[in-house]
Amino acid sequence: MVWRPRLKAALRTVMACSIVGTTTLYSPERVRHLLAYPAFSYVTTILIVSEATLGDTFRGLWHTLYATVQVMLTSVLGLWLVGPARFTPGLATAAVALTSFAVAVPESTHLVSKRIALGQIVIVYVGTVAQGARTHIVMHPVHVALSTGLGAVASVVALLLPYPRLACSEVQKTCRMYVDSAAERLKLYLDAFTAVDGTAAAQSISRASFSTRWGGGLLQNMKENEDGMLWERPDIQFFRRNRTNLPERFRQMELSLRGLELSLASCSSFPIRAVDQEEMRTILPHQRQVLEQKLQQAKCFAPFYAMTVPETDEKSSWKSICAVWTTPWSNEDLLALFFMFCLQLLQHPRTALLPRAKDKNQNSGMSMLKPSSKCLVFASKCSISLGLAVLFGLLYNRENGYWSGLTIAISFVTERQPIFTVANARAQGTAMGSVYGIICFFIFERFMDLRLLALLPWIVFTSFLQHSRMYGQAGGISAVIGALLILGRKNYGVPLEFAITRITEATIGLICFIVVEILFEPARAGTLASIELSQSFREARDCIKYLLLPCCHKDKDPAGSALMEFQERLDQLKVRFSAYEGYIGEAEVEPNFWFCPFPATYHKTMSESLSRTIDLLQFISLQMDTLKKLCQDAGFPCKDVMGQLEDGLEGFIERMESAFRCLEKVISVKNIAKVDKVLLKKAKLHDIEMGKSAKVTTTQSASPCLLKEEAERISSSLLDRLNGLIGQVDDHECNDEVKSQMALCLGGFGFCISKLMAETMEMQDTAKGMITIQNPSCHVDLCELSCKVDALRSLSPWARVDP
């Protein structure tokens, strides 16, 4: 499942490169004259065909056409106004910088289109300087356009032969693999739930964790292939409705499975005493059969909520709930009820409060009129780095000055990236590919056909190299291009001299790239990770407030605006969390230089806790929404339910807000000694002005952190209220199915509240360890440190704690 798809993609890359090589080397002289830049044909092919489907290549062909039209219009106009003979390295640098900025600014333009256009701009203007007055104003850009088009067409042909690699087929395969993985996870979770000892349960949970990691990659693969599906069949509405947005549909399934895992991971001992094992062994096989049938139907792209299952006996369903429903409830009862709530959620998904991902392109029309600051920064980086690379590249070698600009033009990304790691991978890849090309050239110097054949294993090898942690996509692409430029062309001079010149030019371009990136984004990834983590705590605090506001202060939100605010806050929290994970990955691979080592272990632990917190917030929202609907259906007074929950959650919101506010403040502190020094200095200045003696208050009457005793008190109070509520539900006249669902919601709600406090305390411990490792000589107390930050801000309201 791993190497076979990569091998197939590599073979299609081989076919595309073979088409380019055959056309540029063996076609008639007139055709070869028009295809004057075969190197860029190879580059275009690699940009489009790697890991692509047929729909992706159609999209790549369109982006190539769009980029070519842009560059053709601007370059012909520029050559006509200035005149090829007047182009100097300085003028070419200015033309590259201005045109690159204009191409890179529009947010609606796809990144592939921008990369191809930037590469064409470099070739047009550097070629004009190299050829001088011999440059034809129209035909020179036409040669660049035709060479680019050859690479795009070769990519489409390679994806059509010997049979098309359709995006819809790939998504269907991925969907089947994900469903099989989900079914295996479900089986293992049910086995762990009814395990007779901790060893058997731990084995099942451990085996399921591997499928969990695998399932996340499959969902990402489905998301990446969605656009390709629309390019293959854009006209069929049924196709669009049933085969698009699959990750969104399976995300609901994934949430339920993560809930099952969360409940089992929270169990301290097995077997679960709240569960009647004999009863569960009778009930769960039937539930497993129903769920597995729904999972199998998901392979056919049927909406999950519309899937049919055999009719179930309501008494059996109610009996399964009674198996864990013993009053009064204990904490283990809540755990078991939450497990069964997730099973029911898996069988009957509720999507009302699952926030949808916002469309990134919904405001793309306005972005053409007023570009965002992010687009302006990206365009400025492209403009300056390409301008500098072209200038120094031309000064070093006028004939081969292309490569300093091309090396970075085809690899720009709109998001942050680990610049030193990426530059190192590109440099090593360029060197490896060039060395391989030189060796093969001298071995098969007299046989051009054998030189082309020598490229085949290298293309396959570099296709796998793109998935390695050491080189990644940047290193793999640079390696394959390095060999293609030597073995796939002719009449470019002595190969050894060309390789040395190109490596030097590539180094010039990478140095310009690194310098410009540092100037525009000097903050290290570790620093940005701490900032995003602090902002994530703030968003999580707001989520808790708006989620439970209708419950704890029902009279303050009659219109339900708090629920809408919660959904927006949860979306923002997910965006923050995604950025935080990205910075963690970047900080792990960036060099430390003279900075303290990045505490990756603590940040990964914090990331896991924050991820579970986000899941718990979604579960609580689903439980509250379902509980309100059940109360309406059963005629049960909803105000009484919310009132008793309010009594059980007394002090919960205040303590959670205080804890997350404390985390938000202390996580940005790296140097405690510096905080103490600045605080003392500010206090002295402030007290001299006020005519008082210097004194700094670093204590509070109540601890801002969530303490274990407080969490136990809140959990105990809530458990008492839940036992009272479930007694009222049992006495109420409604059918058993409604009673069972209310029991699952109430029990699951109690578990999620307790688990949310446990995760908060774990994040407090992780934050303390994170700060301790950066301040080994200082005693770390989060409460005291939070008070110091407050004192510093009170003395200087505009002060910012330097992270």
pLDDT tens-digit map of 429-468:
999 999 999 999 888 877 777 888 888 899 999 999 998 8
Quote the pLDDT of residue 327.
65
| Single-letter amino acid code for the residue at 302 | A
Q: pLDDT: is 334 or 648 the higher one?
A: 334
Task: Kindly tell me if the per-residue pLDDT of 398 is higher than 70.
Answer: yes
Range with the largest mean pLDDT of 294-303, 314-323, 533-542, 649-658: 533-542
- Whats the size of the chain, residue-wise? 803
The crossing angle, in degrees rounded to 10, of helices 638-648 and 600-634 is: 150
Q: How high is the pLDDT of residue 363? A: 44
Residue 801 in this model has a pLDDT that exceeds 70: no
Return the DSSP state at 87. -
Q: Is the pLDDT confidence value at 783 over 80? A: yes
Give the model's pLDDT for residue 684: 65
**Predicted confidence band of residue 391 (pLDDT cuts 50, 70, 90):** very high
> Would you say 682 and 798 are in contact if contact means Cβ atoms under 8 Å apart?
no
Q: Note the pLDDT of residue 603.
A: 94
The pLDDT confidence band at residue 305, using thresholds 50, 70 and 90, is very low
pLDDT class of 775 with cuts at 50, 70, 90 = confident
Q: What confidence tens digit (pLDDT) does each residue in 223-252 have?
A: 888 878 888 876 544 444 455 456 667 888
* Helix (H), strand (E) at residue 476: helix 472-487
- The whole-number average pLDDT for the span 82-111 is 92
Stretch 717-740: mean pLDDT, rounded?
A: 81
Longest dimension (CA), the chain: 96
- What average pLDDT does range 711-725 have in this prediction? 88
The reported pLDDT for the residue numbered 276 is 61
Pair of tokens at residue 457: 């294993």
Give the amino acid at 283.
Answer: I
Q: Which residues have a Cβ under 8 Å from the Cβ of 596 and sit 6 or more positions away?
A: 670, 774
Q: What is the pLDDT of residues 457-469, one digit of tens each?
A: 999 999 999 988 8
Mean pLDDT of 460-486: 90
Residue bearing tokens 């056309």: 23
Q: Which range, 96-100, 331-335, 628-632, has the best average confidence (pLDDT)?
A: 96-100
Backbone φ, ψ for residue 471 (5° rounding):
-105, -40
pLDDT of residue 770: 92
In this structure, the dihedral spanned by the alpha carbons of residues 576, 577, 579 and 585, taken in order and rounded to 10 degrees, is 160
Given a cut of 60, whether residue 379 has pLDDT beyond it is yes
Q: What is the mean pLDDT of residues 358-381?
A: 68
pLDDT of amino acid 626? 85
Which tokens hold the place of 742?
Answer: 């209310």
- Report pLDDT digits (tens) over 649-692: 878 888 999 999 999 999 988 888 888 888 777 666 655 555 55
Torsion angles phi and psi, residue 513, rounded to 5 = -60, -45
Average the pLDDT over 354-374 and give the result. 55
pLDDT at 234: 62
pLDDT at 359: 43
Residue 803 DSSP label: -
Residue entry with tokens 């950025």? 579
| Residues 337, 304 contacting (CB under 8 angstroms) | no
Contact 524/589 with Cβ under 8 angstroms? Answer: no
- Token duo for residue 175: 């969907």
Give per-residue pLDDT as tens, 170-225.
Answer: 888 888 888 888 889 999 998 898 888 888 888 999 888 887 877 778 888 888 88
Across 164-178, 311-325, 446-460, 512-526, the highest mean pLDDT is recorded for: 512-526
pLDDT at position 690 is 54
Q: Taking all residues of the chain, what is their mean pLDDT, rounded to a whole number?
A: 83
Dist. CA 220–CA 374, nearest whole Å: 25
pLDDT on residue 751? 94
CB atoms within 10 A of CB 18: 19
The whole-number average pLDDT for the span 282-290 is: 74
pLDDT bin (cut points 50, 70, 90) of residue 798 is: very low
Cα 89 to Cα 402: distance, rounded to the nearest angstrom = 12
Residue 680: left if φ>0, alpha if ψ -120 to 50, beta else—which one? alpha
Amino acid occupying residue 31? V
- Does the pLDDT at position 645 exceed 60? yes
Over residues 253-280, the pLDDT tens digits come to 889 999 999 999 998 888 887 666 666 6
Phi, psi of 107 (to 5 degrees): -70, -25
Q: Enter the DSSP assignment of 132.
A: G
**Which of the four pLDDT bands, split at 50, 70 and 90, describes residue 384?**
very high
Query: For 395-413, what is the mean pLDDT?
Result: 91
Question: ω into residue 637 within 30 of 0, thus cis?
Answer: no
pLDDT band for 350, please (50, 70, 90 cuts): low
Query: What was the pLDDT predicted at 301?
Result: 57
Determine the average pLDDT of the residues in 394-404. 90
